Structure 1
């Protein structure tokens, strides 16, 4: 209660606003004597005076009155006219913003460091490389009217294969080993790794039908390489297998070096065991996320295959050995083709390796050899365009691009087992991706074009269906191509929310991150793939907020500007 005045006629004394801190804290009157007021002197306190600034904006934003305004007044007439600054809202007027679901694989578009890069043109030029203007093609409102960017071809709608039934997985028979850890790793190889090397379980993986029998019957070194591969893959989720992976991999390399030093190098090169070991070590490095070492095995395999073909020797003692060598050569050649679609580098394996008229769908490739042959020609034509951007204006270049598009449109990929739904979906998915890659790398398509948007939606739908079937094989390349061709300024809704399971995002970017997270258990280098995708997204966003460096030329297409400079050594097969 306020203290009563002794003299009622005496006017009330106002509180001072420059008293010391102790008196203000104790709410007593300070006489403001210097250097020590009488209250602090009597109590033995340290007398200090300071000023505390208060800002009206802070009080208003917090819904509080600033100072004494609106709280009270000694004059009743004034009190009735003073209103509180607080705003009262009914429950019906409150609109709650929905909090988005944040997952462990979510993506932050930009950080402070990324924003700082926008102030430096040199850093932008270093990120993009040879940045060139995109060849713009006039967009039309009708998506179907832009199904082809080539002036030589007519329109065509991309095809979507509807959802198919689930195919159950099968169990494998495991041979026994004396070492319990080795037996466990071999079981892991057969039950975990081999099923994810092919789309579905109807077709057996070559790693089961060809590689494993050869390792058990003819090559302990290959068997040890398979155990190293299993330990490396298992160490991604269980660090306890990391040491076993390194030890087994080192033993395989020691064995190979010992043979090269003790035996005739030509004889070692012609031994099928050498090529198979290099194939497994290449896959080992991809799983181990070593971005450059797997390319070393790829180049070594090219020289090894060249020696074998030039010598015209027998590929083995029997038909199984011949099939094994053919698979090993196909393994390296396919990794070369798919990797070059992103980076546009010179080929390691030539176009003549693939049969252009092959229509039979290969279970391990997930498509036909004819489709791979077309991809080889697209990448080679794209590489020529990258070295000479003016080629796109020549009629010969446009004719070749139109011919490749025509072949893709009319490509029939035959699957012998009509019940193998996942293999049919995989083959159609890769054909659609090849079409999108052709338009972006040869015809100057950009993410904003209706043609690209339509293809991306179809590709994401097929990827979603295959993930629903628990298919992991061969999805990293389709997902990569679709992801790097997303329009940064548009949040693409690729499917209706009610048509998807609860955990599957219906917007493109979140779905890409969701799918990459699902593919972490595959045998692809998902960490590097996601890193490149995020950098492409960031560069596209920065391009809209910054100016291109004036020293850069202006003839490259969108793919060569944003994607190729970031994809050196990237494994996508």
Structure 2
């Protein structure tokens, strides 16, 4: 029933219909004074009034009531005679529009909890229980698995049931394998995984010209590790291969445990096969869950490489084995550097793997060794600042930061083939991302600064160009650095819509989600990368930006240390 007025002598209040735009948007009463109302005069707003015309035809075509037509009334006769705004048509006059295609990046406001559930094996197994033939695994204590640095000690003992499925045969160029499943996985590794490990198709992938020949000529454990990697990558789109990947990975770990129990430990460490298997298993864990297990492999490889260097010996297997060992060491060291840029933790590998004078662009790194050397120094300087924020006021710290910035600006990255524009763009993309990372991690830059906005626009433009050419390798880290430094107040328009294709968003956040969806077929864990990016966006959005000194800055933290580093533990971006 209607509420009674307190003073019946006063005339009832009437809602004004011609208030200014600001008052209507703020949902406050407008006194309609001209040329500016009192509300806008007090707030310093521009007072504008616009008239919005409503046409009955637009309402009736949408099936909505126009004015008070069709509203509830106490009189049933008037209600029955009220005209309905709906348009009645015959079935033969109805034509259905085409349902638009929905992409995963369309849901910008998806909850992070739903994304994080996709990163657990239990969620995948429960959702695909009619398809997978995996029995629940027995987990050991997390503290026990973390304390051991030996990467061949498995924390899970899975039990598998037999499964029958049709697997296409492999091409005749590959060696004969015991089952059609293995032949299909080897073909998948050669045709699908190897091409996406390098940014340019002009250069050969070391996963194809080094690891694959070595796996065919060495013991079956190396080839089985490659098959496990292929099955793990394929299971991202076909869950039927999940049980196969787990089974093959478990067999490789069991083989390594057997060698350690029966053979001399130094002989096992000096065998290049051990280092290659650990590298493949490290990549396997990155694709699988990207949790602390790949870091355990990384630490185990560090100890193994230390033993090899102390012995100062190499197996007498020829120059190819030496080249393979060098690539394996470069793989582990690069994973360590790129992962530490996000979290700022203590280094596992030192900077002695990289030379500051290296200007030649490496096809697998997608940049030069000199750039990686600068990233090592930036990360180490950022780690010092995180442990002691007051060092940023010292002249020595400021001089080192300025010196690194000058080296990045003047860095030259040579490409062997001058016509290889893709590799040149990839190297420039990483250099631009390194400059952005330096400003945020050392100079205290924030997303609202024009310097950061300009670098983010350039990084996203280069990412867009490389995606147009089908490049998947080496894009995760630059995209991550640009994504976590987006201004939460204003959605950045990084390009004109007319310069892009119809399916490419021209605003930064939708484009980041679009690019992550395109990278879902790469050998990085895009699910975890997207989860961290969304959590950074959520943390920035929850802060009160009207406060000039938020809580984290009282401790001397910069923007990167406050929002990004705490969320990036055990993260791989290489």
CA distance, structure 2, for counterparts of residue 257 and residue 65 of structure 1: 78
- Residues 221-246 of structure 1 show CA distances to partners (whole Å, capped at 9, x for unaligned) of 11110011111111111111112111
Verify: 1:568 aligned to 2:569, yes or no.
yes
- Residues 302-333 of structure 1 show CA distances to partners (whole Å, capped at 9, x for unaligned) of 00000100111125521100000000000000
8 Å CA contact 2:354–2:369 kept in 1: the answer is: yes
CA distance, structure 1, for counterparts of residue 113 and residue 220 of structure 2: 51
CA distance, structure 2, for counterparts of residue 211 and residue 217 of structure 1: 10
8 Å CA contact 1:235–1:241 kept in 2: the answer is: yes
SS of 2:258 mapped into structure 1 = helix
Aligned to 2:426: 426
Cα 1:61/1:445, change in 2 over 3 Å: farther
Deviation at 1:113, TM superposition (A): 10
Aligned to 1:556: 557
CA distance, structure 2, for counterparts of residue 65 and residue 523 of structure 1: 59
Q: Equivalent residues in 2 for 1:212-361 (5 A)?
A: 212-361=212-361
Deviation at 1:174, TM superposition (A): 3.5
CA distance, structure 1, for counterparts of residue 255 and residue 385 of structure 2: 44
Aligned to 1:67: 73
- Residues 400-425 of structure 1 show CA distances to partners (whole Å, capped at 9, x for unaligned) of 00000000000000001112111111
Q: Where do 5+ consecutive residues of structure 1 fail to align?
A: 1-58, 74-83, 88-98, 115-170
Aligned to 2:496: 496
CA distance, structure 2, for counterparts of residue 185 and residue 300 of structure 1: 27
Aligned to 1:413: 413
Deviation at 1:551, TM superposition (A): 8.9
8 Å CA contact 2:460–2:494 kept in 1: the answer is: yes
- Residues 532-567 of structure 1 show CA distances to partners (whole Å, capped at 9, x for unaligned) of 000000000001379788698431100000000000
Deviation at 1:180, TM superposition (A): 1.7
TM-score under structure 1 length normalisation: 0.72
- Residues 75-121 of structure 1 show CA distances to partners (whole Å, capped at 9, x for unaligned) of xxxxxxxxx9999xxxxxxxxxxx9996322344486999xxxxxxx
Aligned to 1:55: none
Aligned to 1:448: 448
CA distance, structure 1, for counterparts of residue 443 and residue 101 of structure 2: 38
Aligned to 1:481: 481
Cα 1:107/1:363, change in 2 over 3 Å: same
CA distance, structure 1, for counterparts of residue 486 and residue 68 of structure 2: 41
CA distance, structure 2, for counterparts of residue 308 and residue 496 of structure 1: 54
- Residues 441-495 of structure 1 show CA distances to partners (whole Å, capped at 9, x for unaligned) of 0000000111111111110111111111111001110110000000011011111
Cα 1:71/1:439, change in 2 over 3 Å: farther
SS of 1:296 mapped into structure 2 = helix
Aligned to 2:537: 537
Cα 1:492/1:255, change in 2 over 3 Å: same
8 Å CA contact 2:344–2:379 kept in 1: the answer is: yes
Cα 1:312/1:568, change in 2 over 3 Å: same
Cα 1:62/1:341, change in 2 over 3 Å: farther
Cα 1:540/1:315, change in 2 over 3 Å: farther
Q: Equivalent residues in 2 for 1:1-40 (5 A)?
A: none
CA distance, structure 2, for counterparts of residue 372 and residue 290 of structure 1: 22
8 Å CA contact 1:279–1:328 kept in 2: the answer is: yes
8 Å CA contact 2:215–2:223 kept in 1: the answer is: yes
- Residues 285-313 of structure 1 show CA distances to partners (whole Å, capped at 9, x for unaligned) of 01112411000000000000001001111
Q: Where do 5+ consecutive residues of structure 2 fail to align?
A: 1-64, 86-98, 115-170
Q: Equivalent residues in 2 for 1:55-134 (5 A)?
A: 64-65=70-71, 67=73, 103-109=103-109
Cα 1:67/1:484, change in 2 over 3 Å: same
SS of 1:415 mapped into structure 2 = coil
Between the two proteins, the alignment pairs up a number of residues equal to 440
Q: Which structure is larger by alpha-carbon Rg, 1 or 2?
A: 1
CA distance, structure 2, for counterparts of residue 70 and residue 399 of structure 1: 84
CA distance, structure 1, for counterparts of residue 316 and residue 522 of structure 2: 31
CA distance, structure 2, for counterparts of residue 314 and residue 491 of structure 1: 55
Aligned to 2:50: none
Cα 1:251/1:367, change in 2 over 3 Å: same
CA distance, structure 2, for counterparts of residue 393 and residue 69 of structure 1: 79
CA distance, structure 2, for counterparts of residue 185 and residue 349 of structure 1: 32
CA distance, structure 2, for counterparts of residue 377 and residue 465 of structure 1: 29
TM-score under structure 2 length normalisation: 0.72
- Residues 178-203 of structure 1 show CA distances to partners (whole Å, capped at 9, x for unaligned) of 42221111110000000000002110
CA distance, structure 1, for counterparts of residue 522 and residue 552 of structure 2: 42
Aligned to 2:157: none
CA distance, structure 2, for counterparts of residue 270 and residue 65 of structure 1: 85
Aligned to 1:147: none
Aligned to 1:376: 376
SS of 1:540 mapped into structure 2 = helix
CA distance, structure 1, for counterparts of residue 495 and residue 236 of structure 2: 32
CA distance, structure 2, for counterparts of residue 62 and residue 455 of structure 1: 54
RMSD of aligned Cα (Å): 2.9
SS of 2:104 mapped into structure 1 = coil
CA distance, structure 1, for counterparts of residue 543 and residue 258 of structure 2: 53
CA distance, structure 1, for counterparts of residue 382 and residue 177 of structure 2: 50
Cα 1:245/1:220, change in 2 over 3 Å: same
